[in-house]
Amino acid sequence: MTNLTDLAIRERLRQFIRETFLYMRPKQALGDEESLMRTGIVDSMGVMEVLAFLQDTWSVTVADQDLTEENLGTISAIARYVMRSVSGASPDREARDRNA
């Protein structure tokens, strides 16, 4: 169940990123581990759009302290963050535990 949801989140995120940030480059490859910020796909204003999308789609609110590249830097990272949020875990605490 978790894997299926994770896949669905990634798929939805990919679609959103393509429609919002890559509509002018439809042929560009977009890997789940590709850095969205370092490649310039998402800029600081774009982060605001990502946050609004997470809120509208999965009712996920990103706390200020979680606004990091680690949480939002790739499709995989965002999907993990969403998964943790919807499962009720504390996203920042889990991230800290994982990095410990």
Cβ–Cβ < 8 Å for 16, 53 = yes
In the bound complex, what is the minimum distance in angstroms from residue 69's beta carbon to other proteins? 5
Q: Which residue's CB is nearer to other proteins, number 21 or number 84?
A: 21
In the bound complex, what is the minimum distance in angstroms from residue 55's beta carbon to other proteins? 14
Give the residue from 86, 82, 85, 70 showing the smallest Cα distance to 33.
70
Sign of the CA dihedral 93, 74, 50, 15? negative
In the bound complex, what is the minimum distance in angstroms from residue 15's beta carbon to other proteins? 14
Binding-site ranges for other proteins (CB under 8 A):
20, 23-26, 37-38, 40, 42-49, 67-69, 72
Residue 87, SS3 per DSSP: coil
Q: Which residue's CB is nearer to other proteins, number 22 or number 58?
A: 22
